[in-house]
Chain A
Amino acid sequence: MGSTRNFRNGSAEFLILSLVGERERHGYELAKLIERRSGGAITFHVASLYPTLYRLERRGLIIGRWIERAGQRRRRFYRLTPDGRDTLAAQRRSWKAFFTALTRVARLGNA
C-alpha cells in the first residue's frame, strides 16, 4: 500500500470539504483541483470520488444541485451546509494540530 493512498484515505473527506468550502464546485472540477493542487500526488477518479461525495451529502455536510447551461451537459454543483462548515472548521483545527505535532516531532520545518 503506497503512502499516497493512505494519506488519501484519511484525508479525502477533508480535502473535499475544504474545496467545496471555497465555493460551489462540481465533481470533475474537484477531481482536477485535487490533482493539480497536490501536484499529481493525490488523484481521485470517478469511482472513488462520487461515493465520497454521496456519503458526505447523506451525512448532511454538503448539498448538491443541478445547474444547466446552454450547450453544456448539466452539472451537479456541491456546496457546504452549515453542518459541513462546522465540521470543516473542526477538521481544520485537528489537522492543523496534527501537522504542528508532526513538525515538532519530525522536525519537518527544518528539513
Chain B
Amino acid sequence: MTAHDWNALVRERLASLAVDPARQLDVVDELAGHVAEQYAELVAAGVDEARAVAEALAPLDERARAAAATAPRALPLAGESPRRERLAMLGYHMRHACRMLLRERGFAASAVLTLALGVGANVAMFAVVDAVLLRPLPYSNANALVVLKHRDERTGITKEFIAIGDYVDIAARQQSFSALGAYGTQRATVFDMGDPFEVSALLATSGVFDALGVEPVSGRVLNPGDSRPGAAHVAVIGYQFWQQRFGGDRRAIGRGIRIDGDNCQIVGIAPPGFRFPPNAAADVILPSAIPLAAPASRQSDWRFAVARLKPGVSLEAAAANLTAISTQLADAYPSQNRASEYLAVPLRDALVGSSQTALWLLFGAVGVLLVVACVNVANLMLARALSRRREIATRRALGASPGHLAAQFIAESLALALAAAAAGILMAQWGTRTLLSLVPRSLVVTGLAEVQINRAVLAFTVALSIATALSFGLLSMLTTRSDTGSTAFTTGRATLGRSTRRAASALVIGEVALALVLLVGAGLILRTFARLASVDPGFRGDHVVTLTTQLPADRYRDSAGRQAFYRRAFESLRALPEVQAVGVAAVIPLTGNNWSVPFERADQPVGGGQRPPDVGWQTASAGYFAAMHIPLLAGRLFDDRDRPDGPRVVVVSRTLERRFFAGESAVGRRANVDGVIAEIIGVVGDIRRASLANEPRPDLYYSSEQVPMTTTTWFVRTGADPARLASILLTHLHAIEPQILGLDSRRMADVERESTQVTRLVLWLIGLFAVTALALAAVGVYGVMSYVIRQRTREIGLRVALGATRAAIVQLVMRQGLAIAVGGTVLGVAIALAAARTLEGLLYGIAPRDVTTLAVASATLIGTTLCACYIPARRAARIDPARTLTES
C-alpha cells in the first residue's frame, strides 16, 4: 500500500472552501482521517489502488471541483502571526477569486466589459474635467486670481473688458487686490529679422506680472514706468521666442527689435512656459499704455484686467469693494457710468466659460452610467449566486465565517473591478483621443490641449474601481445574505428567496430610473440641437468664404492710406470671375463677439445725464450685406456719398428700429452713438450675431470707409470652389500691398456649423451614454425576469396544467415586467424633474421640464423594457407542465 498524504489531498480539494483558518487544521485532519479509512476499506475489499484513492476522494471532488481543476497553492496555515495571516488570507482570496473568474469566463467577460464601459467613460471624462477644471492654472496660487468684467445693469450684457477711464480709477481706489494689471492681446509683425513674421503679442502693464507672480529668466519684467505715456519702447520676449530667434543668447537683452513699426529695446526674458491668457502664446510682451489720470472720454479705450486678491480677502469682499467703486463712479460720471457695474470673476471661471456646465453635466452623466453598470454587475453576481448557493452553503457548514464569505465576495468584486479598470483605462485613452478630435478648433477651452491620462487620472481610476467593487460586491452580498443559510444546502434547489428577488427588482427599478434620466437629458439636448439647426441666422452663409487680413500698422496709420488700399482691393477682387459679391467687416457673425456701444435718439436723449443703453456694433462695407444676403429693408446702404471726412452715417438693424423708433421709420433720423451724432441711412434685416442661441439684439453698422481698421475680414460670395478661393484672394491683395498678412480663412458654412459644435458634441456624448444605459437597463430587466421565471417554473407549469393559455402566461410575465418599467419610469421622471435645473444653461428654445421629451423618453424606456421582458415571457409560455410537475 502506497503511503498517501491524505491531509494534502484533502486540503487541495478544500482550497476553495475558505474555512476559518483557526479550524482549518482540524477540519482537514478529520476529513483526511475519514478518507483514509474509506480508502483502507476499499483496498481491503480488493479495489485496485488508484480506484480506491479516486473513490475515497470523489465526494470532495464533486463538491469542490473548483479547486481540483488547477493545482492550488497551500492554504495559509493557522498559527502564523495575525497580521501575516490576514495578508496571506487576502492573497489567498484574490488568487481564488482570479481562478473563479478564469473558470467562469462568460460571466467574467460580461461583468468586466460592462464595468469597463462605465469606468472608461468616467476616466475619459475625468481626464477632461481634470485638465480643464481641476488642475491648477500655471500661476502661483492661481485661486486668488480674478478677472474684472463689466455689466450693463439695464441690458444684462456682460463684457470681459473695462473702459480705460474706469480702469485708472479702479486701480487708484480699490483695496481688495494686492496687484491689478491691464492687458490685451494682438497679432504683431516683427521686422528686420529676415522676412517680416507674425507673432502673438501680449500688451500688459506691470500689474499683470505682479498679479501672476512671474519672474524673468533674465533682465526684468515690465515696470509701471513702461506704461506711462511717452515712455521708451521696450519689450519682454517669450522664452520660446528667445530660444528660436536668439538661440538662447543672454546678450539678446539690450538689443533692439522692430515690432509693428516701433523700435523696442528688449529688457527681459519671460520664464519658460509663460502664457497669458493661458491659451495664447506670448511671443513678445509689450507695455500697455495707461494714462496717468482717467481721460474725459472714459470709454475711449478698452482693456482686459486681471488681479490678485489680497491674502485673507474673499471674492465676495472684493465684489463688494468693486460695487462700491462702481457706485462712486456712477455718481461722479452719470453720463458715462450710470448703470454700469464691475464684477470680479475667478480667472478659471472666466477661462472655461460656458464649457463648465457642459463638462460637469457630462461628468454627471458618466457617473450615472457607472451606477447603472454597477447595478448590472450586481445583478450578474446575483444570478451567479444562484448556481453557487450549494458551494456557499457547504463552506458555511464547514465553518467559513460570514466574514470569510464577505471577504471572498469582495475579493471577487475587486478582481473584476481591477480588470475593468485596466480595460477602462485603455478605453479612456481611445475615448479622450476621439473626444478631443470632436472638439472644434475654434472652441478655445483652456487646458483642453493638456488632456492626458496622468497620475491624477490613474489615482482616480483606482479609487473609482475600488469604490465600484465595494458597492456592487456589497450589493450582491446583502441581497444574497438572507438565504445563504442551511436551507439551500439541504434542499439543494437553486432558488432566490423572496427578499433577494425583491432586492433584485429594486435594483433594476433603480437602473431603469437612471437610464430614463440620461434619456431625458439626451432628448432635451437633441431638441435643443434641432431648434438651433432650424434657427434662421438672418444671413446666408453657404458659398461665402471669409478671409481675415492685417495691414502693416506702421504704413497705414492714417485713414486715407487705408481707404485707398480698400478701394483698389475692392476693384481688383470684384473683377475676378469667381467673385459674385465682396465686402469687408470687422466681426465674423456667430463667433461670440458682443461689442456694444451706447446709443440714443438725437431727438430723445436719455436725459438726466444718464448713460444711454448699449447696442451691438459692427463695421461693414456695402458689399458685406450683399455677400451675406442680409436684406436691405429701407433706405440705402453705404456708398460713395459717405466720405470719410463727411457726416457720420450708420445702418441699423430692424430690431434697433423697432426698439428705438417704435412704429416709425428710422431712415433719415439722427442718433447719438457714443457721443457722435450720426445719420441713419438704412435699415437691414436682423442677424444672430454672437451665437445662434442669442436672440437678435439691436445692432448698428458703421461704414468701413468712415471707421476703417487694419485687421478686417473679407466676405466673398462665390460659385467656385471655396477652398481655392482664399489663396486667389490673398494673391490679389498681395499684388496691391505686399506686406498684408493673411491671418485666417474659413467658409461661413463652417463657422455656422462650429457655432453649434459644443451642443453637437454634448448631444453625441450624452446620447451615447443614454443609449448605453438603456441597453444595460434592458439587460438588467432581462436578467431579473429570467430569474423570476426560473423561480416560478412550477407555478407556471401548474397554471398551464390547469388550463392557462400561452397568451395568458406571456401576459402574466409581461405584467410583472411592466411593473418594473413603470416603477422605474416614475422614479426616473421624479429624478429628471428634480435635476432639470442643471441643464438650463445648455438648452435653447426648450424648457428643462419639457413634457413631450419626458413622455417620449418614458415611452422609449417602457417599450425597451417590455421588449427585454418578452423573451423570458415567451420562454415561460413554452414551459412543459408535465415535466415541471413530475420533477417536483
Contacts and interface: CB of A to CB of B under 8 A. Distances in A.
Interface of A: 9, 12, 26-28, 31, 45-52, 54-55, 66, 73-76
A28 B29 CA distance: 13
Contacts of B34: 27-28, 31, 46, 49-50
Contact of B397 (A45, A54, A76): A54
A22 to B, nearest CB: 20
Interface stretch (B315-323, B484-492, B842-850): B484-492
Contact of B59 (A47, A55, A73, A75): A47
**Interface hub of B394, B397, B399 (most chain A Cβ within 10 A):** B397
Interface residues of B, number: 27
Nearest to B56: A46
A76 B394 contact: no
A9 B490 contact: yes
A50 B33 contact: no
Contacts of B397: 50-52, 54-55
Contacts of A74: 29, 33
A55 B486 contact: yes
A66 B34 CA distance: 14
A51 B492 CA distance: 14
B30 interface: yes
Contacts of A66: 26
7 contacts: A27-B30, A28-B33, A47-B60, A50-B27, A51-B393, A54-B398, A55-B486
A66 B26 CA distance: 9
B63 interface: yes
Contact of A48 (B26, B29, B59, B486): B59
A55 B491 CA distance: 16
Contact of A46 (B59, B393, B399, B491): B59
Nearest to A73: B33
A51 B489 contact: yes
Interface in B742-798: none
Q: Which of B37, B64, B393 has the most CB of A within 10 A?
A: B37
Contacts of A50: 27, 30-31, 34, 397-398
Interface string B14-44: 0000000000001101111111111000000
Contacts of A73: 29, 32-33, 36
A46 B398 contact: no
B30 A76 contact: yes
A28 B64 CA distance: 20
A73 B60 CA distance: 20
A55 B400 CA distance: 12
Contact of B399 (A48, A54, A76): A54
B62 interface: yes
Nearest to B7: A73
Contacts of A48: 59
A45 B29 contact: no
A26 to B, nearest CB: 8
Contacts of A54: 27, 397-399
- If over half of B's interface residues share one DSSP class (helix, strand or loop), that class is named, otherwise mixed; here it is helix
A17 to B, nearest CB: 16
Which of B30, B62, B64 counts the most chain A CB atoms within 10 A?
B30
A76 B26 contact: yes
Contacts of B398: 50-51, 54
Nearest to A29: B37
Contacts of B489: 51
B59 A9 contact: no
A58 to B, nearest CB: 8
Contacts of A52: 397
Contacts of A27: 30, 33-34
Closest 10 pairs between A and B when the two form their complex, measured CB to CB = A51-B397, A45-B59, A47-B63, A47-B59, A28-B37, A73-B33, A28-B34, A46-B59, A76-B30, A46-B34
A54 to B, nearest CB: 6
A28 B6 CA distance: 15
A73 B62 CA distance: 25
Contacts of A49: 34
Given A9-B490, A9-B491, A27-B30, 19 more contacts: A28-B33, A28-B37, A28-B38, A45-B59, A46-B38, A46-B60, A47-B64, A49-B34, A50-B27, A50-B31, A51-B397, A52-B397, A54-B398, A73-B32, A73-B36, A74-B29, A75-B33, A76-B26, A76-B30
A75 to B, nearest CB: 6
A76 B28 CA distance: 12
Nearest to A76: B30
Contacts of B60: 46-47
A9 B487 CA distance: 10
Contact of B394 (A9, A31, A45, A47): A47
Contacts of A75: 30, 33
A46 B397 CA distance: 13
Contacts of B394: 47, 51
Contacts of B490: 9, 12
Contacts of A45: 58-59
B14 to A, nearest CB: 10
Nearest to A75: B33
Counting chain B CB atoms within 10 Å of each CB, the highest count among A27, A45, A46, A52 belongs to A46
Interface in B474-489: 486, 489
A45 B38 CA distance: 10
A54 B26 CA distance: 12
A12 B36 CA distance: 23
Interface string B44-64: 000000000000001110111
